[in-house]
Structure 1
Amino acid sequence: MNNFLNIHDSKIPLDKEGYLKDLQDWNEEVASELAAKEDIVLGASHWEILKLLRVFHKRHRLSPATRALISLVKRELGNHKGRSVYLMKLFRGSPARTACKLAGLPRPDNCL
């Protein structure tokens, strides 16, 4: 895997799983490029979750695993969005892992 994300003339370092090495490197353009690597085109629903994750991480200094992500989304955005099916449609595979990656956050500790 390429361990850099190339944006304009910048090489942004990624770890071996494609997560940002430095959270400060994140911005919306970086998120869009990371999403493209996952074959995801970010829409309003994605951004809502990504921004929520960044606020959560800033407050708690951790990346939520799937159950915690579902609870967070349900509490902040409502029952319809706080469901695993909804999140799986937005973020393929493990919603927590993928969403955290696109939000520029570390991989959740207890996600396989």
Structure 2
Amino acid sequence: MPIEVNGKTFETDEEGYLANINEWEPGVAEVMAKEDELELTDEHWDIINFLREYYEEYQIAPAVRVLTKAVSKKLGKEKGNSKYLYGLFPYGPGKQACRYAGLPKPTGCV
């Protein structure tokens, strides 16, 4: 189901992930979050931007365990733990945060 951001249409797959990750812009995350009844804070953006950088470097969306470790290493232990990440992304930090970041669904996520 496509989403619309500032008059521009973005195609998504059946699970709501962007069909073309290169089309992503911050407004996409805002619209997706609003659909999930979530308001994005700076803390959310820290993780979304981290994921985009991670994907750019490794060409893969990390599964939750890898994400937790990588966030802990880069942003500190207080942010690199499951409780913190699930607090931000209740539908799963891997799946939900990657969707907001315009990335494919992480490997191993159901």
Fold match by TM threshold 0.5: yes
Q: Which amino acid aligns with 1:81?
A: K
What is the Cα deviation at residue 39 of structure 1?
A: 1.5
**Percent identity for Structure 1 against Structure 2:** 35
User: Aligned pair in 2 of structure 1 residues 93, 9: CA closer, same or farther (>3 Å)?
Assistant: closer
Equivalent in 29, 48, 73 of residue 50 of structure 1: 48
Q: Secondary structure of the equivalent of 2:108?
A: coil
Number of corresponding residues: 110
Structure 2 portions without partners, runs of 5+: none
Give the match for residue 22 of structure 2: 24
With 45-54 and 3-12 compared, the bigger mean Cα shift is at: 3-12
Task: Quote the RMSD (CA, aligned, Å).
Answer: 0.8
Q: Secondary structure of the equivalent of 2:105?
A: coil
Matched, 1:60 2:55: no
Matched, 1:103 2:90: no
Give the match for residue 32 of structure 2: 34
Tell me, in whole angstroms, the C-alpha distance in 2 between the residues paired with 1:8 and 1:82. Answer: 33
Tell me, in whole angstroms, the C-alpha distance in 1 between the residues paired with 2:105 and 2:43. Answer: 21
Tell me, in whole angstroms, the C-alpha distance in 2 between the residues paired with 1:67 and 1:8. Answer: 35
Tell me, in whole angstroms, the C-alpha distance in 1 between the residues paired with 2:5 and 2:93. Answer: 25
Structure 1 portions without partners, runs of 5+: none
